[in-house]
Structure 1
Amino acid sequence: MKVTPTSLPEVLLIEPKVFGDARGFFMESFNQQAFDAAVGHAVAFVQDNHSRSARGVLRGLHYQLPPHAQGKLVRVTSGCVFDVAVDMRRSSPRFGRWAGGELSADNHHQLWIPPGFAHGFLVLSDTADFLYKTTDYYAPQAEGSVRWDDPALGVVWPDAGVAPVLSGKDAAAPLLATALAFE
């Protein structure tokens, strides 16, 4: 497994070793010992989630605040997405900065997004299956969000070939200046 810090050093790009031949491929998609070593501390995952979305669906930017802050280990098993993490820690010198990249069934890349960061993705393929592990359970009372197209963030979303398709909640998300954030 190769681990590379992104422009947000706490957010890590994880590239599992993939062994392929004419029959297909094999990869170890998760190994607790190797993951803990990569992030530098023990991480306990409590929930696995799976979503399927059509081209142009944009989910995010979401996070959960303490005491239910979530870290997420995300990957795509079918299709392709542009995945984004945003630093939501007001005390961080990188508050409001983002990192992003393509996750796909073809590249097998994963992204570790620790607590304190918002997360979202845009589907670039006809459909995408998105899987993620979380370090805390879903807690609606702790939900936070920030608007995906906030100019203060300046996220450069790629063209999916259609206008972004948002949930009502995501369309109404606050701008960074008024969003709930971590201290």
Structure 2
Amino acid sequence: MTTMQQEQEHELMDEMAMRRALTRIAHEILERNKGVDNCVLAGIRTRGIYLAERIADRIEEIEGVRVPVAEVDISWFRDDRERDGEGPGREYRIDRFIIQERKVVLFDDVLYTGRTVRAAMDAVMASGRPEMIQLAVLVDRGHRELPIRPDYVGKNIPTAKAEEIEVRLKEVDGTDAVVILQR
């Protein structure tokens, strides 16, 4: 006899709450960096890149300046996958010109253990030498396994380990929402 797991879903952020959080993060980035000169936004594939693009749009609305946006593919840098030993191929590298001696603001949708962010920092460092790396996340759910702390947070949502946070974006999922799934 098998037991059926039932998932309960509760919406934590709707489209407007997400918009407000991203607008606040855009203002915080501008304030902390005294503008966006010498900055680049780097989004972790998949949802982080869309958040970085949205922040770039907000900054352009506020400052009238378009910030460069780069996509970070962490596939080769993850610590839960075997590597072939040859190092990351060209497809995993960010254009060196984009990040060299610049402030890189790294974006992810959910910060949990910190392992994805560590892999993303490794990917950035393998592509060049940024002046600094800052971290922006839409949701910080806690439970860190590595000493990583975000510089910009849309919303802190303490969770149990059995719970899951799901960020839904129009670009990928057809709707904007942050939900918590409980089993």
TM-score (normalizing by structure 2):
0.26
Identify the structure with the greater strand proportion. Answer: 1
TM-score, with length taken from structure 1: 0.26
Indicate the structure with greater helix content. Answer: 2
Higher radius of gyration, 1 or 2: 2
Structure number with higher relative contact order (C-alpha < 8 Å, ≥ 6 residues apart): 1
